[in-house]
Amino acid sequence: MRLSFEGDQDTWEYTNGQGENVLRFGIGRLVSGRFPQRNRFGEQIGSIPGIEYDCMASAAWIDEQTLNMEVYVTDIYLGRLRTSFAFKTETHEMFPGEKGERRMLRIHFVNVGHGDCCLIEFLHTGRNYMIDINMTAGTKRGRDRDVPEGFSFSPSDVPELIATYKTGIEKAEKDVRLQDPLKHLIPRQNAIEYLRERKIESIFRFVSTHPHMDHLRGLADLMESVRIANFWILPNAFVPANYDVLSDSAKRDWNLYAAIRDCGQGQFGRMQIESPTEGTALPLLDEDGIRVLAPNDDLLRTAAAGGDENGISYVLLIQYGRCKILLGADALNSTWDYVAERHKDALRKVTVLKTSHHGLVSGCHAAALGLMSPRYAVITAGQKQYSKVSREYDTFCDVVFSTAWHGNVVFECDPNGHVKWETQYEHDVESDQSPSPDKQ
């Protein structure tokens, strides 16, 4: 394939199964020409005349390395092709894109304390995904009742408290272990406020990964606050073991979850309810580059028989150009045994990994991590867990973040494999903001 820029004679030349092809285009202007596709029907269905059709094409540079092109077929059939060319030294790659718009995937790992909440913005399509939500009573700013009664500290103590928490070592002179001091030092985020601050009023797809309260608290408030078009929920018959002692708000969230689950696939209010498992094809999944790696029917049956809610956890892969984002929910090693064996190629060279089960050993699978070799990993550690997370992630991952330590963690990925990240709090992160995509 070759692109040539020579005054008014800009051309795109390429070879495919039908032979050599040439398309003429203008930079910042439409150029009339012929669309180089000769295997389409003509005036009669079933008859292929073997001719090219009239078209108009234009292109524009949106940065120094990215050219967006748009082609309109203006013959007996109407059509449109949008293409983005991304250049790197003497090589180039192609990705579909919007004219004049920079393609980007933005992933937010929201610091909701003991639980998960991930917001994904497909900026080139305007579709927003939300994976799980947690809004326990402890998400209010300034809550500090987890600090032992009678314990106090001055601003000069803060660095030592942070170091104490990070290493999991008792603060000797105080002779007390803080159960979760960063609940005081780093306030947890209200997920709905987080959406409002970003003026997000609708969610194209909400994914409930599995029926644990730390992944669905706040569901009722969320559905009252934003429009949700599609809802993923896996079939199950689980009920919280501690349902009788749940707060009224928690029971409200669970009862709503159960009502959505039990309605089966179809409509719940204005939402479309879907229950995809491994290999399921749904509209727009290919366009958004999403694959369900787990569970399958066998994993669902095993989890039901063993009473294991984590056993039905979704494992989702988003392939965005040269970037791979892997979201493991609370999948345990039994699920990773299957995924690592079944999806070796899909796991190779992951860009961003959301670690399973809050980074605990129960979800840390060495074989899978060896395949992934993640560039970045995010641990959504909860109460009393930061000192218990697996240190294997430091071995396999280039950079490891924790929402308990860094607050909200946000990544921006482009199709060429370039990544930028931002944390709410800057603690012990040393990494090039845009490492070479060659690893991918």
CATH number at residue 193: 3.60.15.10
User: Do 124 and 52 share a structural domain?
Assistant: no
User: Do 110 and 91 share a structural domain?
Assistant: no
Count of domains for the chain? 2
User: Do 432 and 376 share a structural domain?
Assistant: yes
User: Do 27 and 124 share a structural domain?
Assistant: no
User: Do 210 and 91 share a structural domain?
Assistant: no
Phi-psi region of 219 (alpha: psi -120 to 50; beta: other; left: phi over 0): alpha
User: Do 208 and 230 share a structural domain?
Assistant: yes
Tell me, yes or no, whether 156 lies in a domain. Answer: no
The residue range of the domain holding 76 is 2-95
Name the residue type at position 21. Answer: N
Beta strand spans in 212-282 (E): 227-232, 266-268, 271-274
Q: Which two tokens stand for residue 305?
A: 């028989």
Q: Which residue has the tokens 């030592």?
A: 160
User: Do 126 and 78 share a structural domain?
Assistant: no
Residue pLDDT tens, the chain, 440 long: 888 876 556 889 888 777 788 998 888 788 888 888 877 666 667 667 777 888 999 888 776 678 889 999 888 778 888 888 887 654 445 554 444 444 689 999 999 988 999 999 998 778 899 999 999 754 333 333 333 333 333 344 445 445 544 444 333 333 333 334 444 457 889 999 999 999 999 999 999 999 999 999 999 999 999 999 999 999 999 999 999 999 999 999 999 999 999 998 889 998 999 999 998 887 677 778 899 999 999 999 999 999 999 999 999 999 998 999 999 999 999 999 999 999 999 999 999 999 999 998 899 999 999 999 999 999 997 645 555 677 888 899 999 998 988 899 999 998 888 999 999 987 655 454 544 444 33
User: Do 120 and 52 share a structural domain?
Assistant: no
User: Do 133 and 207 share a structural domain?
Assistant: yes
User: Do 112 and 91 share a structural domain?
Assistant: no
Name the residue type at position 19. Answer: G
Dihedral sign for Cα atoms in the order 338, 344, 348, 350: negative
- What does pTM read for this prediction? 0.69
